[in-house]
Structure 1
Amino acid sequence: MSGQHQRTRGRSLRRIGGAALALLLGLGAVALLILFLNSRDEAGVQPAGGAAAVPGTAFDAPERYLDGRQTRLLARGNVYLVAAGAPPALTALREELSGPPDPVLEEAGQAVVLVRRAGVDGVVALAAGHRLVTDDPADPRLERFAAHWLGRGAG
């Protein structure tokens, strides 16, 4: 091989090596960015202290408070706030978490829905398999309950 040919080949190998190194560094940076964003994706979803900090108890009889359609949609991830009336605190909570009533959101399991039922004392918050009962419509546990269970559904 001539000296000129070896120098040309050496430059080509350096370019290929440089390109491969740049590609590996770029892929590594993308992987780190994905890992960082993925770790932030769940930030704030669960309150400090773990699952025990989420208010409410296990509950498997939503039909006591909901009709058949609502019971089916409960399993998709909706949160139902059942009360004898519609206290402003509940309306404000619904607006904050899912906006005004929207059948599309409800079908998708992404709605907080107010349900008026005569004879209900206080507020009963229902999520798939869970319930929270409180006398105060402004109870901060309602917001934690609804924010935690909204969109989670049954399974």
Structure 2
Amino acid sequence: MKVYRILKEPYWHDPLSVIGAEIAGGRWNPPGVGILYTSTSPALALLETMVHFPRVSYDQLPRLRLFTLDIPDGEVRWIQPDFLPADWAHPTALPITQQVLREWLQHPVDFGLGVPSAVMDLSYNVLLHPQHPLYQTITITGEMDIALDKRLWTSSDS
């Protein structure tokens, strides 16, 4: 199965690193627990990246690199939105969503979990656990620099 990840320069030297997620935490993991956030399409990976950009002018945006990762087929458990609390996608729901996956974060029986995207809940992100034995089988099959189309970016000084 192919999944995608976009990293900002200078962080693209290690596309399988979970240090950023471990330090900051995320929608599905609290600080102190690192997991790898990936998406099922390059377009979703871009949306997920863009929502975290600061409001700066277009020429101040960081350079981006798209990585294509190959993971073993059949090793992702898909979580449907109706399994999640009603307000799971709201920005203030982080403590709730982090608790939903608490057992998996502590004991990764499944290599990956497919979770709906809070940005586009018809699409899925795939969370990969670095403590699972299959994490070592991830293969980087492609990488390329990408440019954000200027029409997608507006800020007060663009």
TM-score by length of structure 1 reads: 0.25
When Rg is computed on C-alpha atoms for both structures, the one with the higher figure is: 1
TM-score by length of structure 2 reads: 0.25
Structure having the larger proportion of residues in helix: 1
Structure having the larger proportion of residues in strand: 2
